[in-house]
Structure 1
Amino acid sequence: MAVTFLHSADWQLGMLRRFLGPEAQARFGQARIDAIERIGRVATETDAAFVVVSGDVFEANQVDRQIVRRAGEALRAITCPVFLLPGNHDSLEPGSVWTSPALTQALPSHVEVLTDARPRTPVPGVEVIGAPWRSRRPEEDPVGEPAAALPPPNDNLRVLVGHGRFDGLVPGVVDGELVDLDKVERAVKERRVDYVALGDRHSVTSVGDTGRIWYAGTPEVTRPEEELPGQVLRVRLTDDSCDVQPIPIGTWRMHSHVVEVDDGEGLEALANWFGDQPDKARTYVRLGVRGSLSVTGMARLDMLVDAQDEVYAAVQRWPKRWDVTIRPDDLALDRLGVTGPSRAALDELRIATGNGDAEAADALALFHRLVGGVA
């Protein structure tokens, strides 16, 4: 027996990112729905028999009706059977999105929600078994216990669809929501399950040593820390083998970028880096800067960073990695054409900056910009 299917997870439709402005947020939200259609194309190209989505299909149980209906339309692009699992963000609790009339009306007939552990048979010889979350705070291991409870092996290939964090991936944390890796691996080695399709971790990750336990990651990146987001997994499963291939489908990029700057080549290199990045409208940058700049240099840096918001999805100053000192004895300050109270305020800011006042340094750079002192 052999079967090919796709494994996805963590669509989190309706997700909001606080670092995106309204226009970029709208494009980001639509990209997560568009990813469903891209999964449909991959399913056709790989001749996938079915698709499993391992939890957190929606960002929350209370999502906009329009998002639900758009998701239903996008799912029509996947022509094979699709199985959706409730996760911790969209668990099967009272008022769940899964019981809303908007969703039940929007879902195509080939899409099924795994609301229980009853085996589904998308093709002969294959069983898909769900381990849905029934609340945001489960009382027991959400994957290990269902894996251990699977019946003895039979002639079918079994795919367990689950959601949760393995204990080994979050060392030192004791939490009732954690998954016991030993239980899951034991179920695999006993052939109670042939593949464990997981969600919750946003980076593609193989867990354990069987090669049959995988996180699919999120189809569109959500944070710069994610190591391998933007993928869907093509799984080829037989009685004796399991071959998993990540296939890129993501369109957004998120970077953490830290640079050393000075008044010359450092600022020029940062400007070139910004200019060289592809697809800026779908790129978020969390920027860290270290160095010492003149007031003129600081003003140039501020103007450079501020200008990127007009072309990038967002550029955010990273407070933990933003360590720029300003040199107040800049000859450029003496050349500014200000007199009277303005000159007195300028001199006070220079003195405060020299005494290490970070707020005064920022005000001094702003003052320099406002009077047109940028070279």
Structure 2
Amino acid sequence: MAALRILHSADWQLGKPFGRFPADVRAALSEARLDAIDRLGSVASSTGASHVVVAGDVFDNVEPGDRIVAQALSRMERAPVTWWLMPGNHDHARAGGLWGRVRSRAPSNVRIVDTAEPVEMEEGAWLLPAPLEHRKTVADPTAAMADMATPPGALRIGLAHGSITEFGASGDAANLIPPDRARTAGLDYLALGDWHGFLKVGDRTAYSGTPETDRFGRDEPGGCIVAGLRSGELPSLERIETGRYRWLSRRWSVANPDELERELAMLRGEGRLPDMLLSLGLSGVASLADRVAILAMLDDRLAHELRHLDLDADGLGVRPTDDDIALIDVQGALARATETLRLRVETGGADAGIAASALERLYVEAMRFEAGAVR
């Protein structure tokens, strides 16, 4: 009876630019994706997986640059496993393109599967790849698997990149894969890429997700699947975390610095702040003094502790107190304007937000003036 242990990964997207981030964050995130190769190699070695199959989107585009290619191949060469790389929609196969260049530079333990033909991984185990030749195709990329012949009793491992139709995709969606492909093609396991989170689809099909998370909306760290395969039996699938950075989305309702401190304490309990990217939305109502203090804590402290902070404070409203107004109107010159703005904030209306921002600006400037006078 054929048996094999493999590591299933996908969606490395090496060379992803992360263009909306500052330069230092872009560099850190890009390097982390390369470092993930080292972690995948270590997981494979420690779990006894002799092969790593990568279900598409190894690279973020068809021109990732020489450094990215060289770094990726040199890291794979160091791991005592065989790597099987398949083109996806981001790095689709084309004549004379990226994959010919990768193949010409690849060490002996890196195999490129850019044609839809079965290939023997080792005795008794065959890989049935479905590489993409275009970024989008209306045809099922796995359709040929049903007709791929392998020796009797051999393990049949499918490798594909696309969307399972149960995701609710519309009829004109691309790269659609039927959810029962493992059954119709007689596969022992179908390793999928394209969905960036871990997802099982039935007993013999799964998405590994990306080894290094690359977007907000998924709190879980990146990971891979170690699959134990034995012909005639259901595969055993174990998800193992490999990601360094966590991309967290949070919404905090706070009214004063003490409430913010409680939220910060819970955040620190979730892991190392330098390894977090946080998309944070604030809500609630605070005094001018408390709102300014809350924003200062986030901008001057938390933002420097995290790898990156995306802050949306528009939902944190302001209700000025008498003390707030007294501080703004230090010498009485702004009394009329301050009172007008205060009334607009309290009565609401279309310009209440603008009035609140103006009051906050006056408050900050008043504090600066007072601090300068003290010096």
* Distance apart, 1:368 and its partner CA: 2.1
Distance in 1 (CA, whole Å) between partners of 2:263 and 2:329 is 30
Distance in 2 (CA, whole Å) between partners of 1:99 and 1:287 is 43
Distance in 1 (CA, whole Å) between partners of 2:267 and 2:20 is 18
Corresponding residue of 2:311: 317
C-alpha contact (below 8 Å) 1:160/1:195 kept by paired residues? yes
Alignment of 1:1-375 (within 5 A): 1-18=2-19, 20-93=21-94, 96-100=97-101, 103-104=102-103, 106-143=105-142, 145-151=143-149, 154-170=152-168, 174-187=172-185, 191=186, 193-208=187-202, 211-226=203-218, 228-241=220-233, 242-263=235-256, 265-307=258-300, 308-318=302-312, 322-336=314-328, 338-339=330-331, 346-354=338-346, 355-356=348-349, 357-372=352-367
Shift of the 349–60 alpha-carbon distance from structure 1 to 2, 3 Å rule, reads farther
* Distance apart, 1:19 and its partner CA: 5.0
Distance in 2 (CA, whole Å) between partners of 1:219 and 1:132 is 20
- Farther-moved stretch of structure 1 (81-90 vs 58-67): 58-67
**Which residue type is aligned with residue 175 of structure 2?**
E
Render the CA deviation track for 1:121-170: whole Å, top value 9, x for unaligned: 22111111210000012130122x13333337722111111000111123
* TM-score (normalizing by structure 2): 0.88
Render the CA deviation track for 1:199-255: whole Å, top value 9, x for unaligned: 0111111102xx111111000112232364511211111112211111111111111
Instruction: Give the share of equivalent positions with the same residue, in percent.
Output: 29
* Distance apart, 1:111 and its partner CA: 0.6
* Distance apart, 1:316 and its partner CA: 0.9
C-alpha contact (below 8 Å) 1:167/1:178 kept by paired residues? yes
C-alpha contact (below 8 Å) 2:191/2:206 kept by paired residues? yes
Aligned length: 364
**Which residue type is aligned with residue 158 of structure 2?**
L
C-alpha contact (below 8 Å) 2:87/2:132 kept by paired residues? yes
* Distance apart, 1:314 and its partner CA: 1.1
User: Residue 335 of structure 1: SS of its match in structure 2?
Assistant: helix
User: Residue 4 of structure 2: SS of its match in structure 1?
Assistant: strand
Render the CA deviation track for 1:332-365: whole Å, top value 9, x for unaligned: 2212364476666545543443444213323332
* Distance apart, 1:289 and its partner CA: 1.7
Specify every segment of 5 or more residues in structure 1 that has no aligned partner in the other structure, as ranges. Answer: none
Distance in 1 (CA, whole Å) between partners of 2:273 and 2:171 is 38
Shift of the 239–182 alpha-carbon distance from structure 1 to 2, 3 Å rule, reads closer
Distance in 2 (CA, whole Å) between partners of 1:318 and 1:149 is 53
Shift of the 118–94 alpha-carbon distance from structure 1 to 2, 3 Å rule, reads closer
C-alpha contact (below 8 Å) 1:49/1:122 kept by paired residues? no
Distance in 2 (CA, whole Å) between partners of 1:244 and 1:6 is 10
**RMSD value over aligned CA atoms?**
2.6
* Distance apart, 1:294 and its partner CA: 0.9
**Which residue type is aligned with residue 47 of structure 1?**
G
C-alpha contact (below 8 Å) 1:163/1:198 kept by paired residues? yes
User: Residue 152 of structure 2: SS of its match in structure 1?
Assistant: coil
Distance in 2 (CA, whole Å) between partners of 1:33 and 1:113 is 18
**Which residue type is aligned with residue 9 of structure 1?**
A
User: Residue 298 of structure 2: SS of its match in structure 1?
Assistant: helix
C-alpha contact (below 8 Å) 2:219/2:246 kept by paired residues? no
Shift of the 119–111 alpha-carbon distance from structure 1 to 2, 3 Å rule, reads same
Distance in 2 (CA, whole Å) between partners of 1:261 and 1:141 is 49
* Distance apart, 1:306 and its partner CA: 1.1
User: Residue 181 of structure 1: SS of its match in structure 2?
Assistant: coil
**Which residue type is aligned with residue 252 of structure 2?**
V
Distance in 2 (CA, whole Å) between partners of 1:45 and 1:109 is 21
C-alpha contact (below 8 Å) 1:197/1:214 kept by paired residues? yes
User: Residue 305 of structure 2: SS of its match in structure 1?
Assistant: coil
Shift of the 361–79 alpha-carbon distance from structure 1 to 2, 3 Å rule, reads same
* TM-score (normalizing by structure 1): 0.88
